[in-house]
Amino acid sequence: MSLSALDGQTALILTIPLVTALLLAFLANHRLSARLNALSALLTLLAALSLLAHKPEPGPYILVDDLNIVFIVLNSFVGFTTSLFSASYIAHELETGRLTPAHLRFYHAMYQVLLFAMNLALLANNIGVMWVAIEMATLTTVIMVGLYRTEAAIEAAWKYFILGSVGIALALFGTILVYMAARPVVGEGLDGMVWTVLIAHVAAFDPALLNIAFVFLILGYGTKVGLVPLHAWLPDAHAEGPTPISAVLSGLLLNVALYAVLRFKLLLAANAGAIAPGPLMAAMGLVSLIFAGFMLYRRRDMKRLFAYSSIEHMGIITFAFGMGGPLANFAGLLHMTMHSLTKSAIFFAVGHIAQAKGTQRLSEIRGLTATHPLLGWSLVAGVAAIAGLPPLGIFMSEFLVVSSTFAREPLLAVPLVAGLLVAFGALALRLHDVAFGEPTGSIVPVQASTVPLVAHLGLVLTAGIYLPAPLVAWFQHVAGLLG
């Protein structure tokens, strides 16, 4: 793919992180690396925001439309705030000897490669390029999960690699089947992989091939979304990798894989003979919600706890998009946005809490609001938000999901609400002692990155009280496109 095929805006979104990654690979000064990493992420965010004012025309490789702009802007924003959090977090890991200067140089370079790969997946108009980009993002995060080089980290990275490879292989087979369905209609060559060509001619495709393809695609990309029973890599990856990568995994990479599923859902919906993809998505989402809700009670590690919380919320989002319709799709978009902001904020707090206490084990962390008030109360606010308490943004999105389900499928609302209550009980149970129990362990001051933490929680609180009319209109329009 040549740069001549890219519009100026999309060229910036892709080349800024790629060029920065090359620079960071040879930059030895870790403080300068952290600043360059954050500056590059900021410039990428500004380029992404420019898409709101002007959408370039689609080409054979790059597409910008109302659907992927939501994901690109969210991806770039959380990528920027996480880069700010990374600066203090990674510097502390260097000071304590857990990472070396070479590790930091590698980390910052790979962080930009990850942003490039995710943005490429979101911008791709070619389903083959999208697959390659998601595979690149997966391999990048696999390497970063094993950054600490401990036995547990290496094991988690291998587990992620093996399960991720199975998932991406299934997604590749599904992509090939879509091409085979398109070939008799659009001919051989590039057109059979171009999204805009596929959606224009999909009504004439063989529905049987599309049905089989979607099963492989939702299983393949569903592995990356973290849907049950394809979730097993996610808790280990969260627990053993650097905390900024946990924030990116939960806040961004899961969304990118879900975006791929939504693209193929639109293909099936436009073919009258194909199965309705919604029920399969709703079923997998509901199972993920209920399973993760119960598994929250068994967690002993703080990062594993919130990894299962991510599985729970990706289940809610998948369920909402599976239900379909203007209200459920709107709720799914809002919940995806609120979850990305909230869960990344929680990991910002958890990362510094683990550094302050020297452990991630819940049993060894007590009384945070007394020993580390800023981190303790930030965690309380984050857990209150992710549990769906009013007036925070996730309460609004969950209320809309439940309301739309009651209106269309009342019986499904029962397990949906039950799953939400089970997860709420687990989070409340875990939070009490961690935040308000008798203080235990060491009291080590840490230099916490408060700006991204406060910014995320502030946005989530604001969204629960007031959504700007342009944002509502934008999400309503995208919800209508999703069917």
pLDDT in tens, 298-309: 888 889 999 999
In a domain, 381, yes or no: yes
Cα dist from 33 to 101, 284, 372, 434, whole Å: 10, 41, 29, 34
**Banded model confidence at residue 23, pLDDT cuts 50, 70, 90:** very high
Say how many C-beta atoms besides its own lie within 10 A of residue 203's C-beta: 13
- Structural domains counted in the chain: 1
pLDDT tens sequence across 380-415:
999 999 999 988 899 999 999 999 999 998 999 999
Mean pLDDT of the chain: 89
Mean pLDDT of 461-469: 91
Those residues whose C-beta lies under 8 Å from the C-beta of residue 244, and which sit 6 or more positions away, are 82, 85, 86, 89, 90, 111, 347, 351
* Contact indicator for 432, 362 with CB cutoff of 8 Å: no
Q: Which of 456, 326, 332 is nearest to 392 (CA)?
A: 456
Looking at the domain assignment, is residue 30 inside a domain? no
pLDDT tens figures, 188-224: 888 889 999 999 999 999 999 999 999 999 999 999 9
Query: Does position 77 have pLDDT exceeding 90, yes or no?
Result: yes
Asked if pLDDT for residue 1 goes beyond 70, the answer is no
pLDDT digits (tens, 9 = 90+) for 130-143: 999 999 999 999 99
In a domain, 129, yes or no: no
What lies within 8 Å, CB to CB, of 368 at 6+ separation is 353, 375, 376, 379, 434, 435
The pLDDT assigned to 4 comes to: 42
> Is residue 323 situated within a structural domain?
yes
Please tell me the distance from the alpha carbon of residue 41 to that of residue 421, in angstroms, as a whole number. 37
Structural domain span for residue 305: 276-483
Is residue 253 scored above 80 in pLDDT? yes
Does pLDDT of 445 surpass 80?
no
User: For residue 412, is it within any domain?
Assistant: yes
- Give mean pLDDT, residues 101-112: 90
Name the pTM for this structure: 0.93
- 377 lies in some domain: yes
Alpha helices in 101-186 (DSSP H): 101-123, 127-145, 151-186
Quick one: pLDDT at residue 330?
A: 95
Residues 50/11, Cβ–Cβ less than 8 Å? no
Helix (H/G/I), strand (E/B), else coil: 474 = helix
